[in-house]
Structure 1
Amino acid sequence: MTVTNAEAHQIAREKGVSGPLYYVVKYAAALVFRILCGFTATGKEKVPKKGPVVIVPNHKSFWDPFFVAIVLRRPVHFMGKAEHFDGPMAQFFLRMGAFPVQRGGSDEEALETARAILRRGDALAIFPEGTRVREEGLGAPKRGAARLAIEAGAPLVPTTITGTEKRRWPLPRKVRMVFGDPVPVEGLEATPEDAALAIGQAWPQVEQEYAKWQARPGVIVASAAAIGLGALVVSKRRKRIND
């Protein structure tokens, strides 16, 4: 059964996740992911167990929301591309905590749904980079997540996800998640300046943790090998030219 955009937002605002279905799918997925992906998660205790909270992870892969959802005990809501809600899976996605957002501009319907979720006292995860960052490193965070958090009086929880960008079909391998120290928003106003201040306190934790992962010995060795291989190729090409 398909739903219209308006119906999707109404369901997300008034009902949220389907408790029994959500937990059945979540724990089944967690079992499969733990066996096949070998993921670890630290700092889960830093995520408030109740009340509104905005989780702000980096975004490298389609799989990122799944790992955030299965790691935390409380249900987590996400924005998803509106195209995912055009077909028969729309109802399922909605009951799993996702709701549609139109890409390419400010979607007021999606923002109002996000506010409704936070007013209920639920958890909302928003990727501040705005889209998947496929190249190496992280993207610059936008202020929207922080502004929603300030409006709702919800702390921002920086979250680092590593490993999802490198996959062995069909799932990522050796995924690691680290939840950072929550950033309180008390005393801030929902202005661009205060939103920038809040995300500016949260995002460096993600950057630092991601940099640690990038600097681990295995990555350094692989990078050095790649550089060495590239130098060898260049050297052989020059030799051919000179010959």
Structure 2
Amino acid sequence: MTVILERPYTFVPPHRGNLWPTAIQKLRLIDRHLRNRESVVSYELRHADRLAESLAAGHGIVLAPNHCRYADPIVLGWLARQVNTHLYAMASWHLFNTNSFEAFALRRMGAFSIYREGNDRQAIETSIEIIANAERPLVLFPEGTTNRTNDLLKPLLDGVSFIARAAAKKREKAGLGKVVMHPVGLKYLCVGDAWKWADEKLRDLEVALSWQPRPASTNPQAILERLFRVSEAYLALKEIEHVGKASAGDLRPRRDELIHFLLSRSESRYGLPTVRDACVRERVRKVRAAVATAYFAPDPETGAVIERDPAQYRIDSEAADLAQFLLSFPDQYLTPGQITDTRIVETIQRIQEAIYGKANETMPMSVIIEVDHAIEVSSKRGPRGEPDPLLCQLESRLRTMMEALSKEARDFEQTDHAVSSR
């Protein structure tokens, strides 16, 4: 659950010193963490010199990567090591509330909190200050959240361009020079046998669903058919849990109907407008904000804290999380001609998160970290009523990189298993 009900939000500032991040790099702690916790065993840096040039020029720097896995902020430590710098990064507040060690480690690596359920002025001002003073490059994920879909880019949030422009204006006024934004493409590739891994993990999921396990098979077509069956079973279980019965038909309209049901129920409870065609991510954000606001609202007369039963608030928060999670199963991701081994692994791991609460990170991965040319950030916004030119340029650059990087995965039709099964 991303809305924290145990205590109201308090800003977690970044650790400003260099001793801890330097020690973390010297001891190769990020390498160990990525290998042991995320199974990211190797990396390839492309065009790190572009970032090095911006650092040498003394620019205020924003790094804007795509966001497909929880490992993303950590793998950028390899880029930082290559160009001899440290990074700051904005991270959702709920990540600082998992356990005390992770909260400690996040801060020492340069992370600070952002309250996604409301307007977090401290986080925004901290971001602007970091860029304007050119303390270190600041990592801002323009998609906002991760959804384990490496080849697709979600709509970008305008916060990244607002922060970059505000910093550029502040830096320009002080005569300190430019602010630049580097789009960064992250692409994870399977190192081991994805089909063998998929067969084993699908068998585990089938057992969890009380099905008779299928005979071991690494035939990609059989893997794909089993994956669709498990996906449909998960959706049917959620329909029964929330609506009372499973529906029939194609998965996409069923998914969309369940998302609408989950959100409209909470919207009605908090007096929010229900617009079926509205952006799901925006509806989720408003529900989460309403939950947090209502739960922590003080007594209107005395201003005293009110002890409330968190049960219903948890239900609404978890419904919003589920709606966003269901949206992360993208349309056309596993269509003929577009299927790769990494897409199969991503989809299985997404279902594992849904059923077990955590993905099985045992598929060895290598990551490509590609730095694009710097985009100079203007302090002026585009004409009113027109698309933000900075956000449009960033989106175009990221899409181009991701499209090219997606072709480096092993294609479904070209694997040894597919050939041998014909």
TM bucket (normalised to shorter chain) is 0.7 to 0.9
The answer (yes or no) to whether the contact 2:65–2:185 under 8 Å persists in 1 is yes
Residue matched to 1:60:
68
Residue matched to 2:95:
84
Q: 1:199 aligns with which of 391, 398, 401?
A: 391
Residue matched to 1:123:
137
Q: 1:158 aligns with which of 168, 173, 183?
A: 183
- What is the alpha-carbon distance in structure 2 between the residues aligned to residue 191 and residue 93 of structure 1? 39
- What is the alpha-carbon distance in structure 2 between the residues aligned to residue 81 and residue 221 of structure 1? 39
Report how far residue 211 of structure 1 moved. 0.8
- Aligned with 1:39: secondary structure? strand
- What is the alpha-carbon distance in structure 2 between the residues aligned to residue 172 and residue 107 of structure 1? 37
Larger mean CA deviation between 183-192 and 141-150 belongs to 183-192
Which structure has the highest strand share of the two?
1
- What is the alpha-carbon distance in structure 2 between the residues aligned to residue 92 and residue 191 of structure 1? 42
Change (3 A) 1:62 1:203: same
The answer (yes or no) to whether the contact 1:5–1:100 under 8 Å persists in 2 is no
Residue matched to 2:274:
none
- What is the alpha-carbon distance in structure 2 between the residues aligned to residue 26 and residue 205 of structure 1? 30
Could you tell me which amino acid in structure 2 is paired with residue 43 of structure 1? H
- What is the alpha-carbon distance in structure 1 between the residues aligned to residue 406 and residue 397 of structure 2? 14
Q: Which runs of 5+ in 2 are unaligned?
A: 1-7, 169-178, 190-341, 347-359
- Aligned with 2:89: secondary structure? strand
Report how far residue 94 of structure 1 moved. 1.6
Q: 2:147 aligns with which of 128, 133, 138?
A: 133
Larger Rg: 2
- What is the alpha-carbon distance in structure 1 between the residues aligned to residue 404 and residue 66 of structure 2? 14
Report how far residue 110 of structure 1 moved. 1.4
1:46 matched to 2:50: yes
Report how far residue 147 of structure 1 moved. 1.6
Larger mean CA deviation between 93-102 and 170-179 belongs to 170-179
- What is the alpha-carbon distance in structure 1 between the residues aligned to residue 407 and residue 25 of structure 2? 32
Could you tell me which amino acid in structure 2 is paired with residue 37 of structure 1? V
Report how far residue 140 of structure 1 moved. 1.3
Q: Which runs of 5+ in 1 are unaligned?
A: 233-243
Q: After superposition, give the CA deviation of every residue in 1:168-204 in whole Å (9 maximum; x if it has no partner).
A: 7357512101100111023534887688211211222
Residue matched to 2:407:
215
The answer (yes or no) to whether the contact 2:180–2:376 under 8 Å persists in 1 is yes
- What is the alpha-carbon distance in structure 2 between the residues aligned to residue 103 and residue 62 of structure 1? 17
- What is the alpha-carbon distance in structure 1 between the residues aligned to residue 124 and residue 387 of structure 2? 15
4+ runs deviating over 6 angstroms = 190-195
**TM-score (structure 1 length as normaliser):** 0.76
Q: After superposition, give the CA deviation of every residue in 1:204-242 in whole Å (9 maximum; x if it has no partner).
A: 22211211122237235369x88xx9xx9xxxxxxxxxx
- What is the alpha-carbon distance in structure 1 between the residues aligned to residue 408 and residue 392 of structure 2? 25
How many percent of aligned residue pairs carry the same amino acid? Answer: 18
Could you tell me which amino acid in structure 2 is paired with residue 96 of structure 1? M
The answer (yes or no) to whether the contact 2:11–2:114 under 8 Å persists in 1 is no
- What is the alpha-carbon distance in structure 1 between the residues aligned to residue 123 and residue 104 of structure 2? 17
- What is the alpha-carbon distance in structure 1 between the residues aligned to residue 114 and residue 370 of structure 2? 26
RMSD: 3.4
